[in-house]
Amino acid sequence: MEKTILNLTMLQKGDRGKVSSIDAGKYATKRLYELGFNTSASVTIIKNDFGPIIVSLNGNKVAVGRGLASKILLAK
């Protein structure tokens, strides 16, 4: 079965995925890792309509701005 790689902004409410990689600079990548967006972390989209994207990550709700969210690549 082939896995599809999408960035976080492309997913809709209720979609799930696992973090594949982060395509950002050194400081943005460090910040996302500190928030819990580690490789293979399971992510569920809670809100993705306008404004920041809210995801469930390890049982916690995390809001991520669209700029950073576009750099998080997920395997769906």
Please say whether the beta carbons of 62 and 55 come within 8 A: yes
Q: What superfamily does domain 5-75 belong to in CATH?
A: Ferrous iron transport protein A (FeoA) (2.30.30.90)
> What pLDDT, on a 0 to 100 scale, did the predictor assign at position 23?
93
Q: How much is the pTM? A: 0.89
- Angstrom distance (rounded) from CA 62 to CA 46: 9
The pLDDT tens digits of the residues spanning 55-66 come to 999 889 999 999
* Segments making up each domain of the chain, as ranges: 5-75
- Angstrom distance (rounded) from CA 40 to CA 28: 18
- Angstrom distance (rounded) from CA 4 to CA 47: 21
> What pLDDT, on a 0 to 100 scale, did the predictor assign at position 76?
85
The pLDDT tens digits of the residues spanning 11-53 come to 999 999 999 999 999 999 999 999 999 999 999 999 999 899 9
| Helical (H) or strand (E) element with 26 | helix 26-35
**Dihedral angle of Cα 40, 20, 71, 49, to the nearest 10 degrees:** -70
> What pLDDT, on a 0 to 100 scale, did the predictor assign at position 1?
58
